[in-house]
Structure 1
């Protein structure tokens, strides 16, 4: 009997073990099902390991989230990383000086102003929404008077009606506005019988064929001025419209915005060799020796130009550089993943005023959804792409009051929400914006430093022997965004010292009214040279 009882006990134990084992397996299955149920990313088929930083953020509170953002952006623009970025950009610049038809474009401006140019000149600045006309008096650096004086200046809005003027009608409209500015100018000023020299800053594509000529191309942005005129000479079109109105003027120079900025400051300070534009977009100009370029970069130019040109002002098209070497974050990748042309202007996506607000918006929305910022509620219109603009961030960062009342009023007026942001929320938004713009300032500094080194090498100048050099700048971000120019200058000083130079060798200097003054100075240099 005892063997039988013992056998039954073993059967019972085996049966209970099987039940427990089965239960454990069932519990594991249930737990797995539960895990799937509470993990939407698995249901959606997302690769959880593909974005470890995002998964990490979802476990953090607001302060920790901000620290992650800080490390993500500040960590990308340390000294070593910026030196490497500068070296990479310089290599891309050099490559483009040989075979890239879109970048490092030598202009026809081969002379910087001497500073002795004098006289009265007419300046035109045609942009996407305004046409500006200025009558400029140049007195020279040694005159003891104000070197550049704007005698008269008018701004005309280019509205939809003006944009729809086809062909020569647009240039006739320009001539009519020029006539309005010149009306009555003979009084008090000696307007001789000689034609008034005119310089033009043109913010649209042209195929320049001489200092005062360029073949008109499509303007975009709703303009119909090129209708029926594609390939015709821009200088002649403006000249003809002015002549029809009896205006005694002469087109002597056509420049782009970066060249105009360089010329405007070079007239006042002979150490100017660079120009930097940073507003909605970004661009730069640099004065380089002609011999550093492949002959093919100059296209077909008259022998006289090559005989006299030892240096040339170069339109770098800086926005198009940086492919594969820019310091990217997951938010940049998200921005580019839905961009219609993500490879066209790599550097501009990281620094342009048209994109800084969007990068901040993407970071902020993630913080709201995963770290409880703004009460966990995304303001309705912040769900729309590019709804947070850089100008809004600039005004919010400018508010230094304890309660950030101005910042809150600005935010709520543009992004109304049922749960108004607290001062802590706004402080967090300011920190995010500061981290994003700090990186942008570092990237801009790396680009300028790369051009500085490129010029030093072309001129056989050692970094420690490089003299003080000015970078003329303008554009809404550099001019108006709180602390941006200062941060950019600090990054520049760090880079110069890292390359063996002296702190302060490169100085950012604001170029006031650069488009008008630069156009006038270009006209002055051309007319006096001719």
Structure 2
């Protein structure tokens, strides 16, 4: 994925978790149409993660395109509500301020471990006044307005968080991939293989490369007329092309556009084109997943979803074709994601069987991978095809549930004002 833009190079060693972190830390994970608040009680090298709790909040659509104060005030208010539910099982040392890792999964120019300016929005967000602003400063001001006494100890994106969390539990994790509302990847690279690096070499000799692979583009990508139209009508035309081919934000929309073409050109749903089928993003990826996984003899779930969401009364033959459309588009996306993972393994020379490197782990976080079973299985089977039987035995792709949140909390602990790590 050499054409992907490298937005962030992060030293691996000084700021990475080492297992000694202890205490109560929070994470705020803003990566798409929902955000998560997480608290973790860390017990050091022996006990690791003692206890964790999380809550997920949907962001009202109008806040994604409104003003920055409105968005961050909403986030700060929900975070304050979550902090207020902190139970006795979580212990904050006396005199300590609550600290958290802020997972902000949009392209930023990171100027320090706890500050970064927004380069651009993705995944349906579009708040122009935030461009070029420090996202940590904006959140801090919102917390002050809401009377919430907390400090952002680390700013990371969800991919870096997942990599940190995965490496914390398993030393063989060398890369992390997000497959959710959007998509991104990061991997651990030898600093000697990074010609752009100009600073002091880290003691570990390694760096984390945040690929921002969602922005990858190549003439070899299998773009259809639906992909071109989706991109042209998006909030960021010409950008995030790879992400738009398979991430959770867009998968359902590609299916809708394909069904709309079938309705217009082949009267697939009858003489009249269903009006609701013309509404952009009316068909969400979780709905596509539910229809795709329908194993009932009459495809009852497919029929119910078509009627509830699109106002379509369907025959069994129509439902079968709808499932086939879901199958074609989803499998294309899963195979593309697998190709991206294979590219990382090839870059690191981990794509061949080797006695020196008997185990390589890829940590994956995101609802698309976690809940869309067919997508998950096709991704893994495709990766096996690309690697070959001998090499694939040593490559492990595993779910890092809440990986980005736990990783952010760990990085907050590592960079805490209180424990001096």
If the length of structure 1 is used for normalisation, what is the TM-score?
0.67
Tell me, yes or no, if the aligned pair for 1:489 and 1:507 is still in contact at 8 Å.
no
Q: 1:239 to 1:270 in 2, by over 3 A?
A: farther
Q: What whole-Å deviation, never above 9, does each CA across 1:393-432 have from its counterpart, x for those lacking one?
A: 2111121110112210111111114xx2211111111112
1:277 is paired with a residue whose SS is: strand
Q: What residue in structure 1 maps to residue 155 of structure 2? A: 254
- Which of 332, 336, 353 is residue 248 of structure 2 equivalent to? 353
The answer to whether the 8 Å contact 1:212/1:235 transfers is no
User: 1:256 and 1:208 mapped to 2: Cα distance?
Assistant: 10
CA drift of 1:120 comes to: 1.9
- Match in the other structure for 2:21: 117
Q: Give 1 or 2: higher strand fraction.
A: 2
Secondary structure of the corresponding residue to residue 483 of structure 1: helix
Relative distance call for 1:163 and 1:138 in structure 2 (3 A) is farther
CA RMSD of aligned residues (A): 3.7
Counterpart CA distance in 2 for 1:435 and 1:194 is: 53
CA–CA separation in structure 2 for the residues paired with 1:332 and 1:103:
24
How many angstroms apart in 1 are the aligned matches of 2:213 and 2:102? 22
Mapping 1:91-170, distance limit 5 Å:
92-93=2-3, 102-103=5-6, 105-108=8-11, 110=13, 111-127=15-31, 130=34, 132-140=36-44, 142-143=46-47, 147-150=49-52, 152-154=53-55, 158-159=59-60
Match for residue 293 of structure 1?
Answer: 194
1:192 aligns with 2:94: yes
Q: Distance in 1 between matches of 2:203 and 2:193?
A: 16
Change (3 A) 1:309 1:376: farther
Alignment of 1:412 onto 2:307 = yes
SS at match of 2:415: helix
The equivalent residue for 1:508 is 397
Residue in 2 aligned with 1:521? 410
Once residues 124 and 376 of structure 1 are traced to their aligned partners in structure 2, the CA distance between those partners, rounded to angstroms, is 49
Aligned to 2:103: 201
Q: Distance in 2 between matches of 1:377 and 1:212?
A: 55
- Deviation of 1:373 after TM superposition, in Å, equals 3.9
Pairwise CA distance, 1:216: 5.5
Residues 290, 309 of structure 1: 8 Å contact kept: no
Paired positions, count: 413
What's 2:369 paired with? Answer: 478
Does the CA contact (< 8 Å) of 1:323 and 1:346 recur in 2?
A: no
The reply to whether residue 447 of structure 1 matches residue 308 of structure 2 is no
Show structure 2 runs of 5+ residues with no match. none
Q: Provide closer, same or farther for how the CA distance between residues 104 and 451 of structure 1 changes in structure 2, counting only shifts above 3 A.
A: farther
Structure-1 separation of matches of 2:359 and 2:105: 30
Q: Does the C-alpha gap of structure 1 residues 454 and 398 become closer, same or farther in structure 2, counting only changes over 3 Å?
A: same
Residue pair 1:351, 1:441 contacting (<8 A) in 2 also? yes
State the secondary structure of the residue aligned to 1:234: helix
How far has the Cα of 1:224 moved from its partner? 8.2
How does the TM-score come out when normalised to structure 2? 0.82
**Structure 2 residue 104 is matched with structure 1 residue 211:** no
Deviation digits for residues 49-100 of structure 1 (CA, Å, limit 9, x no counterpart): xxxxxxxxxxxxxxxxxxxxxxxxxxxxxxxxxxxxxxxx3xx25xx6xxxx
Q: Paired residue for 1:14?
A: none
Question: Quick check: which one's helix share is greater?
Answer: 1
Shift of 1:477: 1.9
Matched, 1:265 2:166: yes
